[in-house]
Amino acid sequence: MGLNVLVAGGAGYVGAHVCKALARAGHHPVVLDSLAHGHREAVRWGPLVEADIADRAAVGRAIGSHRIDAVMHFAAWIFVGESMTSPLKYFANNLGGSLALLDAAMAAGVRRVVFSSTAAVYGEPRQVPIPESHPTEPINPYGESKLMVERVLRWLDRQQGLRFAALRYFNASGADPDAEIGERHDPETHLVPLAILAALGKAPALNIFGDDYDTPDGTAIRDYIHVADLAGAHVAALEHLAAGGASLTLNLGGGSGTSVREIVDAVARVGGRPVPASFAPRRPGDPPRLVADIAAARAALAWSPRHSDIDTIVRTAWAWHTRG
Ligand SMILES: NC(=O)c1ccc[n+]([C@@H]2O[C@H](COP(=O)([O-])OP(=O)(O)OC[C@H]3O[C@@H](n4cnc5c(N)ncnc54)[C@H](O)[C@@H]3O)[C@@H](O)[C@H]2O)c1
């Protein structure tokens, strides 16, 4: 029998893909989203409750009327740069909103939460690949706000029997292999869509920040995980918690590094046209290399990435951006 899952932020990029995976696995997603950044048309696998997570009463009503068993929490502001200039905006939504959501869930007796955390909780990496035991020293309010929620979840586990999965994503990328949904942020700050939009002439030439890193081609290396692999891990984490499993804090990445230049080359190859690009100075706080150690997720969830090779990521993203 499927679970009724409140998907906060489910009209956004990652949440929408997780809703599709939930429905495929026999569960029942109920999206709660303010549509501040989400897309109504991305909500296809269950009802939409248009509300803010900070609206405790609305969240409580949604949980009660849909007989919710578990919460998946994607709702947040996500722009690292903006978090540096407007920190309170980030703490208010990402932490304050989460507290209201968790309060409503606890009051309604919901004790299972899957939370979207981020590699930004680690800050400057001291070792690569990065294991979950790496010190957590965020260097921006975005990462700090996510770490604060992780800490709240840990206290709720200890004191009140909540069981959670905090999933620390590296770079989510790619699109639904059926091209029903894809990545659409406004503003877009992620490399794969920016490179595709530049190649299609729908965005300015791509800025490549730094070509003088100590990496094989001089550009920064990141860990890209296909959003379908992320979605699979979320379903596995939910089912682990529903079966009575202990709380988890796990990295989710593809487990290997790809340079900016390799992504740009892959977009040009898949799209069959050049990607207009120019080099810009490194951005402060952008380390040369960020790669996830994903051994813990593999072991705890019996999961491994299946779509996270760069060609599949770029091919599915390109197909979605150029769909009819
Ligand atoms: N995309 C990535 O590479 C990445 C990496 C690490 C972590 N994350 C985390 O994953 C989650 C999803 O990211 P995404 O890329 O899908 O972002 P997104 O902006 O596409 O989706 C976030 C959704 O949350 C909604 N939302 C925001 N604040 C809300 C509120 N107060 N009440 C109700 N709805 C609200 C937005 O309308 C949007 O639909 C975020 O929590 C983000 O921090 C994403």
DSSP line for 98-139:
HHHHHHHHHHTT--EEEEEEEGGGS-S-SSSSBPTTS----S
Number of Cβ within 10 Å of residue 47's Cβ equals 13
Q: How high is the pLDDT of residue 285?
A: 83
As a whole number of angstroms, the distance between CA 218 and CA 233 comes to 32
Tell me: domain 191-222+255-321, CATH 3.90.25.10, correct? yes
Q: How high is the pLDDT of residue 319?
A: 97
pLDDT mean across residues, the chain: 97
Number of Cβ within 10 Å of residue 323's Cβ equals 11
CA angle 305, 308, 314 (to 5 degrees): 160
Beta bridge partners of 267: none
From 142, 169, 213, 224, active-site residue: 142
- The protein residue with its alpha carbon nearest to ligand 1, atom 15, reads 13
Which atom of ligand 1 is nearest the CA belonging to 75?
A: 24
Please name the residue that has the structure tokens 């990295």: 251
Q: How high is the pLDDT of residue 69?
A: 98
Please name the residue that has the structure tokens 């979320």: 234
Phi, psi of 5, rounded to the nearest 5 degrees: -120, 120
Q: Which residues contact 153 (CB under 8 A, 6 or more apart)?
A: 102, 113, 115, 162, 164, 166, 247
Give me the CATH code for the 4-173+224-252 domain, please.
3.40.50.720
Beta bridge partners of 251: 168
CA of 71 to the centre of ligand 1 (A): 15
Give ligand 1 pocket residues (Cβ under 6 A).
9, 11-15, 33-38, 52-54, 74-76, 78, 93, 97, 116, 118, 169, 171-172, 185
* In the chain, where the domains are located: 4-173+224-252, 191-222+255-321
Q: How high is the pLDDT of residue 175?
A: 98
Query: In the chain, which residue ranges form alpha helices assigned H by DSSP?
Result: 13-24, 56-65, 80-85, 87-90, 98-107, 141-160, 191-199, 227-242, 260-271, 295-301, 310-321
As a whole number of angstroms, the distance between CA 100 and CA 210 comes to 40
Reading the block at residue 32, the tokens are: 């709660």
As a whole number of angstroms, the distance between CA 140 and CA 224 comes to 21
Q: Respond yes or no: is residue 90 known to be catalytic.
A: no
Residues of the chain with pLDDT under 50: none
CA of 197 to the centre of ligand 1 (A): 21
Q: List C-alpha distances in Å: 7 to 4, 32, 61, 230, 286.
A: 10, 6, 14, 15, 31
Q: How high is the pLDDT of residue 58?
A: 98
Reading the block at residue 120, the tokens are: 């930004």
Q: How many CA atoms lie within 13 A of 42 on its CB side?
A: 28
Q: How high is the pLDDT of residue 258?
A: 98
- The protein residue with its alpha carbon nearest to ligand 1, atom 3, reads 172
Phi, psi of 73, rounded to the nearest 5 degrees: -120, 100
CA of 248 to the centre of ligand 1 (A): 20
Q: Do the domains 4-173+224-252 and 191-222+255-321 sit in the same CATH topology, yes or no?
A: no
Distance of CA 4 to the CA centre of its chain: 21
Entry pTM: 0.98
